[in-house]
């Protein structure tokens, strides 16, 4: 790993953001976007430099198909540094993105029974069960819960009723939760009791904020024979459009089963995505440290702004990610996101895309400048109150 010293976070101007983030900022000029999970920050220079060298060298061909040893070594080294645990490099395999990785893991490794999705749950995970020909089983976390937790008794009943797979998003989106080791061990015990499987989306693992610690589900004893993790540098380093995540498959027999799949099941990850991921894993630690510091500051600012302008909004503790789950039901709006857009000209993610009936809740992206976040909350206050 190259130590280039701490590198600062650079806020994009509105003009730069509209050019560089066409989805997030593809909104009318008077609307502030605080929805899709992209950050209004310039990309780490070491990632951009690696991509520039790739283009200058004319590397525009297909990537290696199957296992990329350099990418695998890079992720294993990064995981060891950050989490004190790492898979064998042979366990790490490229996939186009995390959602595709979850789908592939279900298709290749899971039985035909239902797929349990804790809700509110990441909107792209909704429908994955049906895409793979399985029933989607919702495991609801009540909106009134101060700390979002998976109810192990209800999880046990869902498996007893025939479900065979749990999608475990941790750190969780949109809860902002970091599961403790004890919680993960409890989940493991229920899963093992039923001979079930876990597909663990850990894309937000690099974005655990001070006060919490990420524990990979695969680092828990007794998980390797029933679990797959899907990881990526893309969320932390703002490179989602480059298309490369990784499946972590610790069981050797399962790895061979993955490699035996037809190419059409797992392809379309890009050479650019692999180059960016390697650069982030090998040389991105200084920038990532600055990012986590900035997000911690944004978290504190959000708390102050809500207290000042929207004191009736309930927010569970934000332990990871830059995505806050806000409950605005006290202000009496059945579709808080629509009201935010119509009256406040702020685009947030509607709660109904994460859980049925969650219209009074929204997901708010805080990965922007302090001034923009301040204006977002001030606009939401005018819209909702």
List all residues 6 or more positions away from 362 whose beta carbon is below 8 Å from its beta carbon. 325, 326, 328, 336, 337, 340, 348, 349, 350, 351
Beta pairing, strands 227-231 & 197-201: parallel
Per-residue pLDDT at 2: 46
Q: How far is CA 217 from CA 123, 192, 200, 213, 281, in A?
A: 22, 13, 7, 12, 20
Please name the fold of domain 55-282.
3.40.640
Per-residue pLDDT at 5: 67
Backbone φ, ψ for residue 167 (5° rounding): -85, 115
Dist CA 73 CA 89 (whole Å): 5
Query: What would the two tokens of residue 199 be?
Result: 């597909």
Q: How far is CA 140 from CA 45, 47, 61, 144, 355, in A?
A: 41, 39, 45, 11, 8
Burial class for 16, CB neighbours closer than 10 Å (0-12, 13-18, 19+): middle
Instruction: With residue 17 as reference, give the H or E element that holds it.
Output: helix 14-20
Instruction: With residue 319 as reference, give the H or E element that holds it.
Output: none
Dist CA 3 CA 315 (whole Å): 37
Beta-bridged to residue 247, according to DSSP, are: 93, 230
Beta-bridged to residue 210, according to DSSP, are: none
Per-residue pLDDT at 276: 98
Yes or no: say if 214 and 223 are a contact pair by the CB < 8 Å rule: no
Question: In what order do the strands lie in the sheet containing 361-365?
Answer: 314-315, 323-327, 361-365, 349-350
pLDDT tens column, 351-373: 999 999 999 999 999 999 999 99
Q: Where are the beta strands (DSSP E) in 240-367?
A: 245-248, 314-315, 323-327, 346-347, 349-350, 361-365
DSSP labels, 29-62? TTPEE--SS--SBPPPHHHHHHHHHHHHTT--SP
pLDDT tens column, 146-170: 778 999 999 999 999 999 999 999 9
Yes or no: say if 148 and 316 are a contact pair by the CB < 8 Å rule: yes
Lookup result for tokens 């509209």: 18
Dist CA 360 CA 143 (whole Å): 10
Q: Where are the beta strands (DSSP E) in the chain?
A: 32-33, 92-95, 115-119, 136-140, 165-169, 197-201, 227-231, 245-248, 314-315, 323-327, 346-347, 349-350, 361-365
Beta-bridged to residue 248, according to DSSP, are: 92, 229
Q: Hey, is 103 helix, strand or coil?
A: helix
Per-residue pLDDT at 66: 86
Please name the fold of domain 14-45+285-384.
3.90.1150
Yes or no: say if 104 and 266 are a contact pair by the CB < 8 Å rule: yes
What is the block-wise mean pLDDT of the chain (385 residues), using blocks of 10 residues?
72 98 97 98 98 96 92 98 96 96 97 97 96 96 78 97 98 95 98 98 98 97 98 97 96 95 90 97 97 98 98 95 96 97 98 96 98 98 97
* Radius of gyration, alpha carbons of the chain: 20
Domain boundaries, the chain: 14-45+285-384, 55-282
């Amino acid at each position: 790993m190259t130590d280039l010293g701490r590198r600062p976070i650079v806020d994009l101007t509105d003009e730069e953001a509209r050019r560089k983030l066409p989805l997030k900022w593809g909104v009318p000029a008077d609307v502030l976007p605080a929805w899709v999970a992209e950050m209004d920050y310039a990309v780490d220079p070491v990632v951009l430099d690696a991509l520039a060298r790739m283009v200058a060298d004319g590397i525009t061909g297909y990537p290696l198909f199957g296992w990329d040893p350099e990418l695998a070594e890079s992720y294993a080294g990064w995981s060891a540094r950050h989490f004190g645990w790492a898979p064998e490099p042979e366990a790490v395999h490229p996939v186009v993105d995390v959602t595709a990785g979850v789908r592939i893991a279900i298709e290749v490794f899971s039985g035909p029974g239902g797929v349990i999705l804790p809700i509110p749950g990441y909107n792209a995970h909704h429908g994955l069960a049906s895409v793979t020909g399985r029933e989607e089983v919702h495991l609801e976390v009540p909106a009134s819960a101060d700390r979002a937790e998976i109810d192990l008794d209800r999880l046990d009943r869902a498996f007893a009723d025939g479900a065979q797979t749990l999608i475990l998003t941790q750190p969780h989106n949109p809860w902002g939760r970091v599961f403790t080791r004890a919680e993960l061990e409890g989940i493991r015990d229920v899963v093992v009791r039923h001979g079930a499987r876990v597909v663990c989306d850990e894309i937000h693992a690099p974005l655990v904020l001070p006060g919490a610690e990420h524990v990979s589900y695969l680092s828990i004893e007794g998980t390797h024979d029933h679990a797959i993790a899907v990881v990526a540098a893309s969320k932390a380093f703002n490179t989602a459009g480059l298309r490369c995540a990784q499946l972590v498959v610790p069981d050797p027999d399962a790895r061979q089963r993955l490699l035996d799949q037809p190419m059409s099941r797992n392809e379309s990850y890009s050479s650019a995505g692999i180059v960016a991921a390697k650069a982030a894993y090998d040389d991105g630690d200084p920038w990532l440290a600055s990012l986590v510091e900035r997000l911690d500051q944004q978290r504190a600012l959000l708390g102050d702004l809500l207290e000042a302008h929207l004191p009736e909004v309930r927010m569970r503790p934000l332990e990871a990610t830059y995505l806050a789950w806000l409950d605005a039901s006290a202000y009496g709006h059945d579709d808080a996101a629509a009201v935010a857009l119509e009256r406040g000209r702020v685009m947030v993610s509607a709660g109904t895309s994460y859980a049925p009936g969650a219209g009074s809740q929204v997901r708010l992206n805080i990965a922007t400048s302090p001034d923009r976040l301040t204006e977002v909350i001030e606009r939401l206050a005018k819209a909702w109150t």
